[in-house]
């Protein structure tokens, strides 16, 4: 059985990962409406990854004898003024998620819950990658996005993203 705080935070994180998936679908909806199908695809893949994160945490809780509660998933409340706005919101969101993962890690450390710390190691690494990806997208958009041809090429590049279910993450 896991420590009460760790269990509660992990349970909340399941919901937050599903929210992340929902938020990224909202980004994809925006880009699809703007005719940028590559950007939309990139965020659809991202949404799938977020769902995977939620499922990994759900499985971890269940495997440790903890009941999982399914709370309401919040409505994405963002409005997007331009094509850069979702990218900026995505970077900000990933930084927030990193702070949440760190808080669970800190709770596990305080509880001497080394098993959960080991489980979370994958997420710590993943957050580093996701923040970098989000930052890279902003950099590319700044460099190429103001020119129609550059934007077209960037959209093509993002269309090539392939969803690969995590095989190196914690057991699903």
Where in 98-137 is the site for ligand FEO (CB under 6 A)? 130
Residues in binding contact with ligand FEO, number by CB under 6 A: 7
| Whole-number Å distance between alpha carbons of 119 and 133 | 22
Q: Estimate to the nearest angstrom the gap between the alpha carbon of 169 and the chain centroid.
A: 14
When the beta carbons of 130 and 155 are compared against ligand FEO, the nearer one is: 130
Give least dist CB 122 to ligand FEO, A. Answer: 11
Helix axes 37-63 and 148-159, enclosed angle (nearest 10):
30
Q: Is 26 in the site for ligand FEO (CB under 6 A)?
A: no
Instruction: Give 33 or 128: the residue with its C-beta nearer to ligand FEO.
Output: 128
Distinct helix (H) and strand (E) counts, the chain: 5, 0
Closest separation between CB of residue 113 and ligand FEO, Å?
20
Interface with ligand FEO includes 20 (CB under 6 A)?
yes
Token readout for 44 is 């659809």
DSSP 75: P
Range 49-68, binding ligand FEO (CB under 6 A): 50, 53
**Which position among 94, 105, 113, 119 is part of the footprint of ligand FEO (CB under 6 A)?**
94
Looking at the Cβ atoms of 22 and 144, the one nearer to ligand FEO is 22
- If we measure between CA atoms, which residue out of 160, 158, 128, 154 comes closest to residue 140? 154
Strand, coil or helix: 1: coil
Q: Which residues bind ligand FEO (CB under 6 A)?
A: 17, 20, 50, 53, 94, 97, 130
């Amino acid at each position: 059985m896991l420590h009460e705080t760790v269990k509660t935070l992990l349970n909340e994180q399941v919901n937050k990962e599903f929210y992340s998936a929902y938020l990224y679908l909202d980004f994809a909806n925006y880009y699809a409406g703007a005719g940028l199908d590559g950007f939309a695809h990139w965020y659809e893949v991202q949404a799938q990854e977020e769902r995977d994160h939620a499922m990994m945490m759900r499985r971890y809780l269940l495997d440790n004898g903890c009941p999982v509660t399914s709370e309401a998933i919040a409505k994405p409340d963002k409005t997007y003024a331009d094509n850069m706005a979702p990218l900026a919101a995505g970077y900000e969101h990933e930084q927030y998620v990193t702070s949440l993962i760190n808080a669970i890690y800190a709770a596990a450390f305080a509880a001497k819950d080394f098993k959960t710390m080991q489980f979370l190691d994958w997420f710590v690494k993943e957050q580093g990658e996701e923040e970098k990806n989000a930052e890279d997208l902003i950099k590319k958009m700044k460099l190429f996005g103001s020119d129609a041809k550059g934007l077209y090429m960037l959209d093509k590049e993002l269309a090539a993203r392939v969803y690969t279910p995590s095989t190196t993450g914690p057991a699903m």
